[in-house]
Chains A and B, each alone.
Chain A
Amino acid sequence: MSTRSTETLVGLFVLLGLAALFFLALKAANLGNFNTEATYPVSARFDNVGGLKVRAPVRSAGVTVGRVTAITLDGKTFQGVVRMDIRQGFQFPKDSSAKILTSGLLGDQYVGLEPGGAEANLAPGATITQTQSALVLENLIGQVLFNKAAEAGDAGAKK
């Protein structure tokens, strides 16, 4: 086989590999999701972050507006600090509240932002103060049991 046709075939081979790489990176993975878009950082403090993970979506009215970038523990208040990047195109009022919600019954957890009514918007680096923690199933069951026991105790006292 001549050198020229070998070179052409190898060129095609490498090109095919690059095409596969681009397909996998752009169509079948998260590159180009909106990594290039400008974002601004916001943080929120929760009493309990539950099963929230880094890179979890931040949603408002169900629309993804950003991503969680870091989750740390504040050593003084013992609250979970969730840092997130919100897309520049979405500005939220200063008194917006954040909740940790679950998509579906068994789905992943995400941060839900609910806009408030203030005139001023959240500045980059601002902290959201009104928050609602993740629902922890054990606490919920404990509460139900406690209530049941209290009701039973009341009923017993009345008799």
Chain B
Amino acid sequence: MSEAVNGRLVSVKTKFHREAVRPGGINRSGANMSSARSVEALKAQVEDRLEASTEPLVALLRDWQAERAPQGCDWAGQVRDLAGLAGLHLLTEVAMHCFDCLDAVAIDGVVLKPTEAAVLADALAFARQDMCRGSDLEPYRSLLQDLTTLSNRVVARAEQDGVAR
């Protein structure tokens, strides 16, 4: 409430607002077509980079070393972002769970057991397959529910540790 008293509304009109509405721009369908071409041109690069991030991440999780969690986080973040561009939506989902778990290890210092890391590695290897392309995740609902349970359990350790301290 006090902020409402202490603040004020100001009208903002920047160069962007003036330029962007000038005639001669590109409409939505034109932008759609051009972005499809742009993403298509990146596809080969995306696949290569995806491989370069997924392989070491799977290797790390199979031979789990907690001190390398920050590096694993970076790989998981890359896989998450790249998989979406490659149309591998299951892999995006799995990478998000990996990221959440590794992030909790790297920042909160929680314990990720080797068996749990191996589960994440298996899920990544499965999701990386060509058969898992596309955005229909219904066939993988139970896998994703299990991963949600796992990542919630790992992340919850940070709160438990915090309470214990």
Tell whether A and B belong to one assembly. Answer: no
Q: A residues bordering B, Cβ < 8 Å?
A: none
Q: Which chain B residues have a beta carbon within 8 Å of chain A's beta carbons?
A: none
